[in-house]
Amino acid sequence: MTSLGFNMAGQLPPIIIARRDYARLERLATNAVRERHTVGRFLLSEIRRAVVFDTNNIPDGVTRINEWVTYRVDGSRQSESRVLVYPDELRNDQIGLSVLSPLGAALLGVSIGHRIKFFSNEGGPHSVIVEDVRAPTGAPLLFPLKARRKAARAFPDPHGPDDDGPQVA
């Protein structure tokens, strides 16, 4: 399965991924392709075309892992909001959305106002537009991500931004 996600000009919307998530997402997608998961190739293609930013420099309005996203599928009148998560961290289908689902893979790294097309597990074409990336009114407080980010900025990693630790030259 491939993505046919296009914006109004007929081009794929840009994808932005945090450096801290990139390697894990790539491993997840590569393993999914190897295991012939229906979304593996789509997720891998989205990750490979992404622009990778240092985690603290992700522009506002971008759909991110462990963050809320409000979206509308196929022009529905009703928006939905979920937290985009890794599949092994999905605890509640009413709140979480796996990045290894067709919809989750389509939403990854897309900015507010952008639309992308994707195929459901059944093979039907759909499109989704990102409406917001903040928790909706009344949403449960799942984890204080903003507070953790502020703390991380106050006490930067001595190895540098998004450092994966020692590297062999």
pTM for this one?
A: 0.78
Our measurement of the distance from residue 76's CA atom to the centroid of its chain's CA atoms, rounded to an integer in Å, reads 21
Q: Are 102 and 39 in contact (CB under 8 A)?
A: yes
For the purposes of burial, counting CB atoms within 10 Å of the CB of 83, is it exposed (0-12), middle (13-18) or buried (19 or more)? Answer: buried
3-class state of residue 162 by DSSP: coil
Q: Would the pLDDT of 131 be above 50?
A: yes
- pLDDT tens profile 77-103: 999 999 999 999 999 989 999 999 999
Percentage of the residues of the chain whose pLDDT score is greater than 70: 77
Top-confidence residue, 152 or 131 = 131
Q: What is the pLDDT of residue 142?
A: 61
Place 147 in a pLDDT band, splitting at 50, 70 and 90.
very low
Helices H / strands E in the chain, number of each: 4, 7
Q: What is the pLDDT of residue 67?
A: 94
Q: CA-CA distance, 108 to 146, in Å (whole number)?
A: 19
